[in-house]
Chain A
């Protein structure tokens, strides 16, 4: 039997251990950031200079190029939070709750931007800033949920216990995501039914869905970059807290 009883780290351990996470995540930040900038540059060029106006909506289709990515990302972010919540509750994965906490403010921002751009798109196109239809209402509910979760994180002193409780709440609220997704099919009001991810492929011409996809990827990479950096900050923040606590108890001796 070997004297060195610590087993070598496999890829899963590298993912789970906070210290290891800090090491390998550092190398990812700049590549992700650069890809984000490039995608945005490409997307914006497509959006403004290489895309004709839509025959129905006119130039306001350019708002769609930032509205749809934000809306999609707001849901994707919650799904990520829900999966992190499962990781916390079922597998007790050490980094899962860090991921969940870091995603919340980002998700709130994307949801807010989706509502904002949606209102500005709706006014010239369909005549109204806001309508209480299924999708807008459930997206507003999503924003309120994000903000509630952020408030809850701040209400707890013990962040590790908070993590598990917030995970439960996140999963209960996850019912809203299918509602948002299918609300345009269930209720026939302002939003159009699904036109991108359908069985027969997109129902839009390439001049529209190419800028749309590029911008969606751009925003997604933005989210991934910010999420990674936020997770690192959270790990550091917890270390700082531990050290400050240690310092305070040491000084008391």
Chain B
């Protein structure tokens, strides 16, 4: 690892914190997207349909 100078800890904590929140955000958005798709699929499997869907293609 390159030498980051006397304030290494601050730099490390800054990047670690941002990485944590960034990956957390990506995770939450991805999980939410997956959950909505699953719920929609479950409802469609049960036969509940929107008026406009009919036998249309799924997005």
Using a CB–CB cutoff of 8 Å, the interface residues on chain A facing chain B are 19, 22-23, 26, 48-49, 53, 58-60, 62-63, 66-67, 70, 105-106, 109, 112-113, 116-117, 120-121, 123-124, 222, 226, 229-230, 232-233, 236-237, 239-240, 242-244, 246-247, 250
Contacts and interface: CB of A to CB of B under 8 A. Distances in A.
A66 B18 contact: yes
A111 to B, nearest CB: 11
Q: How large is the interface on B (under 10, 10 to 19, 20 to 34, 35 or more residues)?
A: 20 to 34
B10 A243 contact: no
A66 B48 contact: no
Nearest to A222: B22
Interface string B33-52: 10011011001001011101
A60 B32 contact: no
B25 A106 contact: yes
Given A49-B2, A66-B14, A237-B36, A19 B59 contact: yes
A58 B46 contact: no
B10 A239 contact: no
B13 A120 contact: yes
B7 A226 contact: no
Contact of A243 (B22, B26, B43): B43
Nearest to B49: A243
B7 A58 contact: yes
